[in-house]
Amino acid sequence: MAPALLLGTALLLAALAAVAYFVFASFVFGAGYQPTPRRAVLEMLRLAAVRPSDVVYDLGAGTGAIVFRAARIYGARVVGVEVEPIRFLILRLRRASGRAGDRIELRWGNLFRLHFGRATVVTAFLWPGAMARLRPKLEAELPAGARVVSHCHSVPGWTPAAYDPATDVYLYRWPDAAAPPSDGERRDKG
């Protein structure tokens, strides 16, 4: 093979490996990387009725699609936790180069090791297995009155207070979401 072709092939393979690492490596922790679309982020924050008095925990903060909008548009305090180091660095750079940095706390690590006791709103775009693992942790740690909004995947076994099919966003209110269905609801479902 000609040296130029060899070099080109090696560069292409290295680029593919880098993209595969960036998107998929964090899968073992609970989700790969895919930013929540802008429309879905705005719907999540709207459905959760985020206010400046809220503390929003974004579980798996990625590059900040939710974190920066919650702090800069809605004025909330935000805790973003992210396990993948390059994305965590991007989050830190974005926080340093824009407004509302004092309202944004960033944690590098595994969201399953973070205590959710201060959260009044939880946002998530994680894969189904992680949502199932998250449920008992939410139930053990969330304060009453907290809202949970999830893009794409539901919290298994919980009843949503609202669902927006256009953006695939679920809203849950804790602890109502985990309450057994009332007699009326049971009859409705037959």
Contact footprint for ligand SAM (CB under 6 A): 26, 29-31, 33-36, 58, 60-62, 65-66, 81-84, 87, 110-112, 125-126
4-to-10, 14, 61 alpha-carbon distances in Å? 10, 15, 40
Neighbours of 154 (CB within 10 A): 16
Closer of 8 and 24 to ligand SAM (Cβ): 24
Closer of 66 and 146 to ligand SAM (Cβ): 66
Question: To the nearest whole angstrom, how small is the minimum distance from the Cβ of residue 181 to ligand SAM?
Answer: 30
Closer of 126 and 171 to ligand SAM (Cβ): 126
- Closest residue to bound ligand SAM by CB: 60
The torsion angles phi and psi of 62, rounded to 5 degrees, stand at 60, -130
Closer of 88 and 174 to ligand SAM (Cβ): 88
Question: To the nearest whole angstrom, how small is the minimum distance from the Cβ of residue 124 to ligand SAM?
Answer: 7
**Looking up tokens 């679309």, which residue turns up?**
37
| Cα 160–Cα 170–Cα 87 angle in degrees, nearest 5 | 140
Question: To the nearest whole angstrom, how small is the minimum distance from the Cβ of residue 105 to ligand SAM?
Answer: 14
Give the three-state DSSP class for 128: helix
Distance (Å, rounded) from C-alpha 2 to C-alpha 81?
Answer: 46
